[in-house]
Structure 1
Amino acid sequence: MGFFSSPSSRFFSDSLNQAVLVAFLISCTFFASSEAYDALDPNGNITIRWDIMSWTPDGYVATVTIFNFQKYRHIQAPGWSLGWTWAKKEVIWSMLGGQTTEQGDCSRFKGNTPHCCKKTPTVVDLLPGTPYNQQIANCCKGGVISSFVQDPTNAAAAFQLSVGAAGTSNKTVRLPKNFTLKAPGPGYTCGPAKIVRPTKFTTQDKRRTTQALMTWNVTCTYSQFLAQRTPSCCVSLSSFYNDTIVSCPTCACGCQNNATQPGGCVDPNSPHLASVVSGSGRNNINPLVQCTSHMCPVRVHWHVKVNYKEYWRVKVTITNFNYNMNYSQWNLVIQHPNFDNLTQSFSFNYNFLTPYASINDTAMMWGLKFYNDLLMQAGPSGNVQSELLFRKDASTFTFEKGWAFPRRIYFNGDNCVMPPPDAYPWLPNGGFQQGLSRASLVVSLLLPLVLLYRQY
């Protein structure tokens, strides 16, 4: 006895597969923004290295270095702040390349007054233009640290401190506890300090190597879920083959609610706009956004622009709706299966990321220096744009079923909210939309059966 497949059974099977695919895509859309593990940068972290360079009569002199090993997440203005809790009654006598935000109560000291006597000091970077006798290498950048891919030479910061009332040997020194890193807001969780092999240093002539007397490391990891309650960016889509412009999802980053949150957004046509913006403070970590349906500080628009014989072209536009922030050294990470054939980016720098070894479907982009590396606050100049030229691969290229649109987009390391797949612009023949309609029909037919099965 043989088996046969009728057209209706094939339709049922195909539609069921499409329904499962749609459910999977929707689940990815809802849960991607809250994940702490970053699939595109699984090993990214910020490592704080504490090197004791010399002993003093009552403590030691140490160099503290902050290394940003994240591929695309950087620390922007107003910069980082590093805190910890002393294990004993340590004080900071002096500092180079950084300063504590508070001195604390130093009344027990007669004569020389320490730089900081707080049990829980907080250190910030010095500003550019600091006198040379107060600087060390990798300091004094206002707390800004570049991402590792974008600018590896500026992906570290450092300061030096002289610690008193501490141990004077490897056996008597006690490691600080409860490290905290704000960059500049929350989001980073730091582990305990761990003693490691002493750091080795090579002289400029490379003929001599020295080493620290003692070294410990602290590793801090980022979670977008901890950084903010709502997403910070969203994505809109359009194409040349469909007149539909798919906007960012409504309330993607919050909703307008003047009843409970008066002044939560700014009307761009308000006659008092200038006074509101000037009084809010530039580079404030709390966004002051333009009133929109999505309420996101940043929107990324992906437009499928032209279809050539051997190439296809996309226009990418980043718009800033935040009146409180100029995004310096911004970056964009896009995942799309055709990035292995990216031929040219006309106004952005780019570099390929390979989070999955041989699969090259992710690229990082950032602005050209002195041209568009600064994304201005909301207003006429609050956007940057570029066009991307892709070579077609005949075995994979298609405009059907939303293939031409990105899978993920990150802005400054944060995952942006994507529109639901069933809203994507589709070809005039309606191939993608028809598949979704069939899938919806199958789900509606199967749901009563599933509920009935569960009762028994």
Structure 2
Amino acid sequence: MVSLTLNLLFFFVFATIPFANSQTPTPEAPAPASSTCNGIFLSYQYNGGSQIKPTDPTLQPYSFKSTLTVQNNGRDELKSWKVFVGFQNDELLVSASNAVLADGTTLPAAVGNGTVFAGFPMTDLKTAIETAGDDTQTSVQVQFLGTQFGVPLKDVPWPSNISLANDGYVCPATTKEGSIMFVCCTRDSNFKTNITLDEEFLPRQNGDLTIMYDVIRTYDSSYWAQVSIANHNPLGRLDNWKLSWDWMKEEFIYSMKGAYPYILDSTDCIYGPQGKYYGELDFSTVLNCERRPTIVDLPPTKANDSTFGLIPFCCRNGTILPPSMDPSKSTSAFQLEVYKMPPDLNRSQISPPQNWKINGTLNPDYQCGPPVRVSPSQFPDPSGLPANKTAVASWQVVCNITHPKGVSPRCCVSFSAYYNDSVIPCNTCACGCPSNTARTCSATAPAVLLPPQALLVPHENRTAMSVAWSALKHRAVPNPFPCADNCGVSINWHLFTDYNRGWSARITLFNWQETSFPDWFAAVQLDKAAAGFEAMYSFNGSMLEMDGVNNTILMEGLPGLNYLVAETDGANPQKDPRVPGKQQTVISFTKKNIPGVNIAAGDGFPTKVFFNGEECSLPSIYPTSNSNGKGSTMILSILLAAVVVLLIQQ
């Protein structure tokens, strides 16, 4: 019995050895790419798409779905995360979960040139160390839904790249595997910062314009916030500002002080979830229930109103001046009472609005970033005691002047000089032209030179004068005639005198709009000749340093004369043209200690001109001098004669 058992055992062992040796070892599953990253791991996964209407073989639209993952595998908390996604297929992004566009654009939006996303509502990503590896606190996923053009379903509509947009990180080239693109971004050892990593909040940032959203009182279902707008750009300005944002959690504005909604409307609340939850609330007193409200400033008459005013820096008709003009008028502020919705019904659950946008009537364009949590602001105690009161929570929005592609200026410049009796007018369509001008005027033909008196009348009254002047000067007139400049404000820079030791210019401002400009200002940049600025006789003038270069002259009206009136009717409106508002001054310069300056050749004409912060369109040519032309012709004739003589002698 024992021998039988041993035989069976040996048979089993020897029978299984060949079988075991014949097995192919199963390779271990490769570790996820994120597991080898000790920094910020980013991945972009294409989840699929479908062809959508209309059918267009040349530019077929396809829907797409994709997922962006941001995971903090490092040792430092990632505050206010931002990621660039290099969309490159004319994508139109319809929705994005857990993120907003960092430039403040509201979805849907065209993102075909790439865009930066900022986290919302989860703005900060903690580390695995401080959360014991809790993925819900260390990572976030953004689900994209949109439309792309031209990439068929068999291919993946890849972005050009993905990278972390936070300062202090460096990202190598991305890697693709299947339908996933990923990259590991690490700390840049060469990046210098004065931020300590254990600080609770990010430091306040600099910008052309900053907006503070300070929560000053909070309750379970509502809170009061103060919004402060501060201008930091020496040439930045806002007139009749309009401020807008997006509520992300169904909040609504119950009351305000120091400003007011552009539209008073509680309809969305009455027919929405707010009306159901706040069933006993009188919505007739609610100011605004729009998801994207627009806020405007109040007139000065409301500054001391006990209901609408009594807020420092409020009620200035939406005018925010540059600090170089008047620091006390470079800030605007207002307060608003905000009602919240479930599940955010506790005192500490506060979400700031997103997608901020601010603009004025004839001012620079601003692009605003997302609100960033900063240390609570402090305000003087309203009791008058020598103490400061701290806000409950504070967020900062940084806005910078931008020049959007395709957006035309809103002011223009003409050039003239004492040595030429023709004026080089503003460029054709300098401030844009309607799309249907082809039958009436040419949007591409260069502007026709003008007699000086033509600057005083509107463009529609200049045609006959321009044609007659061209005939007198034996110049051809384009057919069709060039379109107008279509600018609300035009500026004439006239080279007045030029002599051995100095020179002078005359600048004239024309307002062709129906709106006047109180506290106006203008600025000119003279790259070479500005250092010789001596005096301005009818305006206040001063030198202004821009970007470390002292070549800008700032000018504003004298006290009591700083009002550029609107265009008005002529003496006889039936036959006389309308009359623009205008102001004028002469500016004198010296040539001392400015070697090589050539005023007539271009040094006496500005390279940039600003009006109320808006950069104006400039002509591309300067007035020419007849004497200079004769001299050039004579020199050319002498050289040509010399060449002929040499050829004859050979």
Length-normalised TM-score, structure 1: 0.71
Give me the whole-angstrom Cα distance separating, in 2, the residues matched to 1:426 and 1:432: 10
The question of 1:302 aligning with 2:493 is answered yes
From the superposition, tell whether residues 86 and 132 of structure 1 become closer, same or farther in structure 2 (CA, over 3 Å).
same
Equivalent residues of 1:55, 1:168 under 8 A apart: no
- C-alpha deviation, 1:147, in angstroms: 2.3
Give me the whole-angstrom Cα distance separating, in 1, the residues matched to 2:603 and 2:417: 12
Give me the whole-angstrom Cα distance separating, in 1, the residues matched to 2:402 and 2:290: 29
Q: What are the within-5 Å matches in structure 2 for residues 125-144 of structure 1?
A: 125-130=297-302, 131-135=305-309, 136-144=311-319
The question of 1:267 aligning with 2:429 is answered no
- C-alpha deviation, 1:316, in angstroms: 0.7
- C-alpha deviation, 1:169, in angstroms: 6.3
1:255-295 deviation per Cα after TM superposition (whole angstroms, max 9, x unaligned): 68667689x9973599xxxxxxxxxxxxxxxxxxxx97434
Q: What are the within-5 Å matches in structure 2 for residues 65-84 of structure 1?
A: 65-76=228-239, 79-84=240-245
From the superposition, tell whether residues 93 and 255 of structure 1 become closer, same or farther in structure 2 (CA, over 3 Å).
closer
Report the counterpart of residue 327 of structure 1 in structure 2: 517
- Choose the corresponding residue for 2:557, options 359, 367, 385: 367
Equivalent residues of 2:225, 2:337 under 8 A apart: yes
Report the counterpart of residue 529 of structure 2 in structure 1: 338
Equivalent residues of 2:214, 2:394 under 8 A apart: yes
From the superposition, tell whether residues 206 and 45 of structure 1 become closer, same or farther in structure 2 (CA, over 3 Å).
farther
1:191-226 deviation per Cα after TM superposition (whole angstroms, max 9, x unaligned): 111100111224597832221111001122333436
The question of 1:164 aligning with 2:339 is answered yes
Give me the whole-angstrom Cα distance separating, in 2, the residues matched to 1:371 and 1:116: 39
Equivalent residues of 1:234, 1:298 under 8 A apart: yes
Report the counterpart of residue 86 of structure 1 in structure 2: 247
1:115-167 deviation per Cα after TM superposition (whole angstroms, max 9, x unaligned): 33333322222223222332111112222222222222111111111222265
- C-alpha deviation, 1:362, in angstroms: 0.8
Report the counterpart of residue 119 of structure 1 in structure 2: 291
Equivalent residues of 1:426, 1:433 under 8 A apart: no
The question of 1:209 aligning with 2:383 is answered no
Identity %: 29
From the superposition, tell whether residues 403 and 132 of structure 1 become closer, same or farther in structure 2 (CA, over 3 Å).
same
Q: Which runs of 5+ in 2 are unaligned?
A: 1-205, 444-457, 464-481, 569-577, 637-650
Q: Which runs of 5+ in 1 are unaligned?
A: 1-42, 271-290, 438-456
Equivalent residues of 2:525, 2:607 under 8 A apart: yes
Report the counterpart of residue 79 of structure 2 in structure 1: none
From the superposition, tell whether residues 84 and 231 of structure 1 become closer, same or farther in structure 2 (CA, over 3 Å).
closer
Q: What are the within-5 Å matches in structure 2 for residues 221-236 of structure 1?
A: 221-225=400-404, 229-236=407-414
Q: What are the within-5 Å matches in structure 2 for residues 293-442 of structure 1?
A: 293-308=484-499, 310-320=501-511, 322-336=512-526, 337-357=528-548, 359-377=549-567, 379-394=578-593, 395-421=595-621, 423-426=622-625, 428-430=627-629
1:398-443 deviation per Cα after TM superposition (whole angstroms, max 9, x unaligned): 335222211211222222222224x432472349977xx9xxxxxx
The question of 1:62 aligning with 2:225 is answered yes
CA-atom RMSD in angstroms: 3.4
Equivalent residues of 1:343, 1:390 under 8 A apart: yes
Q: Which moved more, 1:143-152 or 1:205-214?
A: 205-214
Q: Which moved more, 1:46-55 or 1:126-135?
A: 126-135
Q: Determine helix, strand or coil for the equivalent of 1:296.
A: coil
Give me the whole-angstrom Cα distance separating, in 2, the residues matched to 1:260 and 1:412: 34
Which amino acid letter does the alignment assign opposite residue 85 of structure 1? D
Q: Which moved more, 1:376-385 or 1:177-186?
A: 177-186
- C-alpha deviation, 1:174, in angstroms: 1.7
Give me the whole-angstrom Cα distance separating, in 2, the residues matched to 1:192 and 1:303: 44
Report the counterpart of residue 175 of structure 1 in structure 2: 352
From the superposition, tell whether residues 324 and 203 of structure 1 become closer, same or farther in structure 2 (CA, over 3 Å).
same
Equivalent residues of 1:348, 1:386 under 8 A apart: yes
Give me the whole-angstrom Cα distance separating, in 2, the residues matched to 1:115 and 1:308: 64
From the superposition, tell whether residues 293 and 213 of structure 1 become closer, same or farther in structure 2 (CA, over 3 Å).
closer
Equivalent residues of 1:399, 1:427 under 8 A apart: no
Give me the whole-angstrom Cα distance separating, in 2, the residues matched to 1:431 and 1:64: 63
Aligned residue pairs total 368
Report the counterpart of residue 152 of structure 1 in structure 2: 327
Give me the whole-angstrom Cα distance separating, in 1, the residues matched to 2:625 and 2:592: 20
- C-alpha deviation, 1:384, in angstroms: 0.9
Give me the whole-angstrom Cα distance separating, in 2, the residues matched to 1:133 and 1:46: 28
Which amino acid letter does the alignment assign opposite residue 370 of structure 1? G
Length-normalised TM-score, structure 2: 0.51
- C-alpha deviation, 1:181, in angstroms: 2.0
Q: Determine helix, strand or coil for the equivalent of 2:301.
A: coil
Give me the whole-angstrom Cα distance separating, in 2, the residues matched to 1:110 and 1:433: 86
Equivalent residues of 1:240, 1:306 under 8 A apart: yes
Q: Determine helix, strand or coil for the equivalent of 1:149.
A: coil
Which amino acid letter does the alignment assign opposite residue 415 of structure 1? E
Give me the whole-angstrom Cα distance separating, in 2, the residues matched to 1:353 and 1:127: 31
Q: Determine helix, strand or coil for the equivalent of 1:340.
A: helix
Report the counterpart of residue 29 of structure 1 in structure 2: none
Give me the whole-angstrom Cα distance separating, in 2, the residues matched to 1:405 and 1:297: 22
1:61-110 deviation per Cα after TM superposition (whole angstroms, max 9, x unaligned): 1111111222223222xx12222222323222221112222323333232
Report the counterpart of residue 466 of structure 2 in structure 1: none
From the superposition, tell whether residues 419 and 432 of structure 1 become closer, same or farther in structure 2 (CA, over 3 Å).
farther
Give me the whole-angstrom Cα distance separating, in 1, the residues matched to 2:628 and 2:541: 35
Higher relative contact order (CA 8 A, sep 6+): 1
The question of 1:250 aligning with 2:411 is answered no
Higher Cα radius of gyration: 2
- C-alpha deviation, 1:344, in angstroms: 0.9
Which amino acid letter does the alignment assign opposite residue 324 of structure 2? V
